[in-house]
């Protein structure tokens, strides 16, 4: 019997659910290439090399802005990852359910489909499932009911704000804005105001350890960066207030988008959202007090969950295991080969 896999290709992390093992495996969606086309490392090992590798090793992220930017490297990475988590013979003729963002073009959707359909492991079938629907299922919500559900999925490069009812999407808005934008804002802020150059990983550490979505939080962290003037490494103590000031404008942009979607929600569904609250998922949603910020903005309760970056993969596992939800995945072949 062939295995079934649920795949969530995120900008930052690649999550795969295997029905045979009944577990989710997660690795960084990163690949290190040497000699222009030879894979040197992938996943967590490749990410450890990011910003530290010599020029001969190119470390890249094959998914950018929620879509596949580097098709060949993504296919190599997925093949290696699947080979690592399962015996190679189990991949041949396997079935795949792949989560796709909703606000992308048919051509971009086809790239997700072809990544598996045209791969060397010759799958038995490839089905697609809208990411927000899988997300809501992963939260333990029954998306087939006539009840409005609002999900804000904040990833590394994108934030998808969706309203779901009766197994379909009523509203969906994909913003090219995610956790990475906060990192960039922190880098730019310290370069502009303190003549301090820091790397992306340091910016991410600051965001995760002392970053907060609302002002007034205490905390500090000592980091090492380069002084723009002297060009030498220097140590500097960074406070939580500095990090908040760096992210403030981006937080405002995020808030405005959520308000914009809420204004478009039909009244009856708005009533459901008021009662149930807004659901937050995705790795980017782990920013401290982000739920408090959204609640202050909308006057609606905000629900956060455990392991928010694995929600989509959990939802795909239900699409695979539970006959009630299997119809939420669809094939693209009929669209492609017309």
The reported pLDDT for the residue numbered 83 is: 86
- Cα→Cα distances 211→187, 298, 299, 332, Å: 13, 22, 23, 41
Confidence band, pLDDT 50/70/90 cuts, at residue 92: confident
The reported pLDDT for the residue numbered 221 is: 97
Residue 257: partners with Cβ closer than 8 Å, 6 or more residues away: 159, 161, 173, 175, 177
The reported pLDDT for the residue numbered 337 is: 40
Backbone dihedral angles phi then psi of residue 38, each to the nearest 5 degrees: -100, 130
Q: Which two tokens stand for residue 111?
A: 């790239």
- Closest C-alpha to 16, from 331, 328, 337, 312: 312
Q: How far apart are the first and last CA of the chain?
A: 30
Residue 251: partners with Cβ closer than 8 Å, 6 or more residues away: 213, 293
Select the more confidently predicted residue: 87 or 246.
246
What average pLDDT does range 78-91 have in this prediction?
81
Mean pLDDT of the chain: 93
pTM over 0.85: yes
Residue 106: partners with Cβ closer than 8 Å, 6 or more residues away: 335
- Cα→Cα distances 149→269, 273, 275, 326, Å: 8, 6, 10, 19
pLDDT tens by residue, 145-161: 999 999 999 999 999 99
Could you tell me the domains of the chain? 4-134+312-336 (3.30.420.40), 142-177+248-308 (3.30.420.40), 179-246 (3.90.640.10)
Residue 310 sits at the vertex; the CA angle it makes with 305 and 316, to the nearest 5 degrees, is: 115
Residue 84 sits at the vertex; the CA angle it makes with 204 and 77, to the nearest 5 degrees, is: 55
pLDDT at 1 over 70: no
The reported pLDDT for the residue numbered 338 is: 38
From 9-18, 58-67, 268-277, 328-337, the region with the lowest mean pLDDT: 328-337
pLDDT at 95 over 70: yes
């Amino acid at each position: 019997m062939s295995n079934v896999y649920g795949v969530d290709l995120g900008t930052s992390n690649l999550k795969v659910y295997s029905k045979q093992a009944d577990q989710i495996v997660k690795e960084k969606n990163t690949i290190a290439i040497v000699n222009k086309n030879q894979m040197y490392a992938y996943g967590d090992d490749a990410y450890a090399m990011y910003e530290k590798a010599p020029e001969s090793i190119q470390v890249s992220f094959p998914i950018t802005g929620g879509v596949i930017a580097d098709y060949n490297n993504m296919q190599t990475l997925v093949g290696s990852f699947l080979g690592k988590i399962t015996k190679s013979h189990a991949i041949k003729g396997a079935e795949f359910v792949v989560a796709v963002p909703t606000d992308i073009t048919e051509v971009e959707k086809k790239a997700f489909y072809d990544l598996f359909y045209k791969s060397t492991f010759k799958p038995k079938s490839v089905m697609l499932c809208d990411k927000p629907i899988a997300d809501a299922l992963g939260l333990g919500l029954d998306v087939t009911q006539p009840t409005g559900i609002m999900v804000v999925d904040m990833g590394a490069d994108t934030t998808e704000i969706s309203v779901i009812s009766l197994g379909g999407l009523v509203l969906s808005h994909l913003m090219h804005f995610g956790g990475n934008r906060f990192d960039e804002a922190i880098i730019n802020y310290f370069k502009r105001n303190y003549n301090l150059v820091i790397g992306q990983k340091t910016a991410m550490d600051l965001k995760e350890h002392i970053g907060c979505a609302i002002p007034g939080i205490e905390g500090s962290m000592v980091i090492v960066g380069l002084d723009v003037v002297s060009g030498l490494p220097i140590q500097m103590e960074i406070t939580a207030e500095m990090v908040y000031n760096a992210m403030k404008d981006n937080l405002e942009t995020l808030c405005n988008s959520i308000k914009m979607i809420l204004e478009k929600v039909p009244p009856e569904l708005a009533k459901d959202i008021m009662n149930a609250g807004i659901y937050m998922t995705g790795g980017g949603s782990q920013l401290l007090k982000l739920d408090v910020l959204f609640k202050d903005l909308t006057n609606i309760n905000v629900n956060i969950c455990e392991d928010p970056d694995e929600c989509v993969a959990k939802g795909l596992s239900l699409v695979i295991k539970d006959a009630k939800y299997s119809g939420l995945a669809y094939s693209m072949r009929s669209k492609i080969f017309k």
